[in-house]
Amino acid sequence: MMHDPSIFRDSGRERYQQKREQRVLPRLISSPIFLVSWMLLGLLLLAEYMVGRVQVPLFINSPGIELSEQAYQQIKKRGEHITEHILFFVPAAYAREIHVGAAVHIQTSDGPVDGTVGAIEPVILSPADAQRRYAMAALTQPVVVVGIKARSGEIAHETHPVQGQIQVGTRDMFSLLLEQR
C-alpha cells in the first residue's frame, strides 16, 4: 500500500480546489457601507422626485400707473371701459397667459401692495396709443391694458407710475432647473 505523500486530508484539498475555482469578487467596501450607500441613493432620488413636483409660480414684470380719482373719471368720460384704478401695460405676447383673478405684486411709492387681475382689455394697443390714452411713456411694444384690484382699496391722490409682477402660470421646479443654462 502506497501512501499519498501529501500531508493534507482529501476533504480539505477538495474544499481548497473548489474555493480556488470560484470567482473571487474584490471586497472594496463592507456590507453596512454598501447598504447605507444604496439607502442614500434612494433618498436622493426620492428628494429629486419630490422637488420636481413642487410648483413654482411664474411672473412677468410690467409697468403701470395708479390713477387718482380725477384721472380715473377723465378716462371714463372718454369712453374707456376701465374699472380699476391701477392699470398695468403688459406686452401683447403675454396676453393669452394672463387671466382674471391672477395674483399681482405691486410696488408703489407707498410700498408693496398685493392684488389680483380684475379686468383685461380685449384690445391690443400700440405704444403710441397707450402713451396718448394713458400718458404712459417708455412703452416700446404693443400692450394689453390690465386692470388690477388692489387689496388695500385706497385710491391715490395723484396719478403716479408703479411697477409690478403678474402671475402668468406655474411650472414644476424640475423643468425650471433643466431649463437653466
Which SS3 state, helix, strand or coil, does residue 48 take?
helix
Can you give the pTM of this predicted structure?
Answer: 0.67
pLDDT grade, residue 105 (50/70/90)? very high
pLDDT tens figures, 25-46: 566 667 788 889 999 999 999 9
Q: Is residue 119 part of a domain?
A: yes
Q: Which residue has the higher pLDDT, 31 or 98?
A: 98
Q: Is the same domain home to 99 and 18? A: no
pLDDT grade, residue 113 (50/70/90)? confident
Mean pLDDT score of the chain: 82
What's the angle, vertex CA 156, arms to CA 79 and CA 90, rounded to 5? 60
pLDDT grade, residue 158 (50/70/90)? confident
CA distance linking residue 181 with residue 177, whole number of Å: 9
Q: 136 burial class (0-12, 13-18, 19+ CB within 10 angstroms)?
A: buried
CA distance linking residue 106 with residue 62, whole number of Å: 9
The domain of 32 spans 10-53
Per-residue pLDDT, 24: 58
Q: Is the same domain home to 37 and 25? A: yes
Q: Is the same domain home to 135 and 65? A: yes
Q: Is the same domain home to 63 and 145? A: yes
Per-residue pLDDT, 25: 58
CA distance linking residue 146 with residue 89, whole number of Å: 6
What mean pLDDT comes out for the span 139-158? 82
Per-residue pLDDT, 142: 93
Q: Is residue 5 part of a domain?
A: no
Beta bridge partners of 165: 61, 105
What mean pLDDT comes out for the span 133-142? 82
The answer to which of 16-20, 38-42, 51-55, 144-148 has the lowest mean pLDDT is: 16-20
Predicted confidence (pLDDT) at residue 22 exceeds the cutoff of 90: no
Q: Is the same domain home to 71 and 117? A: yes
CATH code for position 76: 2.40.30.170
Assess contact for 61 and 167: CB atoms under 8 A: no
If one counts the domains in the chain, the total is 2
